Amino acid sequence: MTNPQAPPPIAVRPETPASLRQCLESLRPAGRELAAMPLSDLLTPLEQFGRLWQPGSDDFRRACSLLEGTFSRRAVRDSLTMLSLSLRREVLLGELTRELGRADLMDRWQADEGETGFSRGFPLGVAAHVLAGNVFLGGAVAIAQSLLTRNAVLVKLSRADSGFTSLFADRLKNLDPDGPLARSIAVRAWKSEQDELNQVLREEADAVVVWGGQAAIEAYPADRCRGRVIHYGPRLGIGLVCEGVDLDEALPALAWDVALWEQRACSSPRLLLVEDADGSGSLPGRVAAELSRALSDVREHLPRRTLSLDEKSEVYSLREWAAWGNRARVFATAGSMDHTVLLSTAGPQEIPADYRTVLVEPLRSLSEVRQSLAPYRDALQTAVLAAPPGRWPAAVAALVESGMTRVVAAGSAASRFLGLPHEGEFALRRMVELIGIDLGSGCLTCPGHQVSPAVIEQLKRSS
């Protein structure tokens, strides 16, 4: 039985480019074994693995001991519960069908309507994921995405990793210590400044998936990498409050989204656009004041992490900057630095980050959303929307036109593990090579060409 107090597994730290190359090379045959596994044989251990993270289990308690303090107890426990539920067989089958078009895309050739064309998905090979340290589930998502698409996976840990990614990979390997799952996973860590090791990934990995800040993205440009490059870079989370919405319901939900990951997630709202149709500032002012109260109340469920002296100094400086020159009105709990809501009066010069800080910006109508978000278009992803039901279509259209690729109801910014598009595409689909076979038909086929029934039969029977 796992000791919940034991230290987390330690990732092997490659000392030389040669050792990292050897690691990647060892993953290739395991990846080929993984690619040959029937889907049912893959889902069975993943479902068993999911049960390890159920509330009350040893692994659940061990993970909580690693993560609580960095993140709130509620966020950690609910996330682990969601992880357990997401690995159920029926959920995984549903997500594969949704993201890949059919759950068995990688198991068999499927004929088109005329039975002269066939398609099937194949793994890319060895996928290297360069992780960010903002949300602890990032490593679990990276490993799950790779295995579900039959790619062997090397995970490069963030410097801020809590130890959960190593624990996650270690426990998954223990389910099948001599099987392809165990041999298809490697966890490594090195400083991003060690570019000779980054170069190994650029030269050897069949896919490089980068989750993180601009420096990490720039370290793996597509023109310097041999394999497919997938960037999930830094993002600005925004919110939109439309007139007519029930603020008593919407603002506690928005406060939850702000506080859940301490604004470390891409989906965490930092900029909140509020309709101000008559230009009076009434609704933006009410939203700022009541969001401040909601952020005070949400501490009951999501206690504020303790700030260092330097962090407190940053919050104090931010409030002074806002008040100086009448740049923004400050809404905060008296005598506390647990959150800051800034009601912009002169237009935002930059968006504050972290420390449960939200900048509220008035706008006259939905037609101004695109203009307001234009300076941040390259960093947009998730919009948290609080609007009356009848205004959702128009509000979503305005957000999509502005560059958002994900719109969520207030209170739901972190509700998904798999299954919806990410950065405008299905994540699993980006990890698959789709191959087509054409046996020949139509006017441009060579005269006298005959489709071979024997080939058709063999393709249908192959797996």
On the CB side of 5, CA atoms within 13 Å amount to 0
Residue 460 has pLDDT above 90, yes or no: no
* Residue range 369-413, pLDDT digits in tens: 999 999 999 899 999 999 999 999 999 999 999 999 999 999 998
CA nearest neighbour of 133 among 177, 70, 76? 70
Distances in Å between the Cα of 392 and the Cα atoms of 255, 361, 381, 388, 407 are 20, 20, 18, 7, 10
* Residue range 71-120, pLDDT digits in tens: 788 888 888 998 899 999 999 999 999 999 999 999 999 998 888 899 99
Name the band, by pLDDT with cuts 50, 70 and 90, for residue 2: very low
pLDDT score recorded for residue 155: 95
Residue 312 has pLDDT above 90, yes or no: no
* Residue range 9-47, pLDDT digits in tens: 545 666 799 999 999 999 999 999 999 999 999 999 999
Maximum Cα interatomic distance, the chain, rounded to a whole number of Å: 87
Chain-centroid distance, C-alpha 73: 20
pLDDT score recorded for residue 1: 37
- Residues 258-270: what's their mean pLDDT? 87
pLDDT score recorded for residue 266: 84
- Residues 272-288: what's their mean pLDDT? 95
Task: Check if the beta carbon of residue 215 is closer than 8 Å to that of residue 193.
Answer: no
* CA separation for the pair 265, 333 (Å, rounded): 24
Domains parsed from the chain with CATH numbers: 17-104+119-234 (3.40.605.10), 236-409 (3.40.309.10)
* Residue range 320-370, pLDDT digits in tens: 888 776 778 899 988 788 899 999 876 666 676 678 999 999 999 999 999
Burial classification of residue 463, based on how many CB atoms lie within 10 Å of its CB (0-12 exposed, 13-18 middle, 19 or more buried): exposed
Tokens 């440009």 belong to residue: 221
Task: Check if the beta carbon of residue 328 is closer than 8 Å to that of residue 322.
Answer: yes
pLDDT score recorded for residue 422: 78
Counting residues of the chain whose pLDDT is more than 90, the rounded percentage is 62
Average pLDDT value over all residues in the chain: 89
pLDDT score recorded for residue 305: 79
Chain-centroid distance, C-alpha 142: 9
- Residues 210-229: what's their mean pLDDT? 92
pLDDT score recorded for residue 234: 85
Say how many C-beta atoms besides its own lie within 10 A of residue 355's C-beta: 19
* CA separation for the pair 71, 354 (Å, rounded): 13
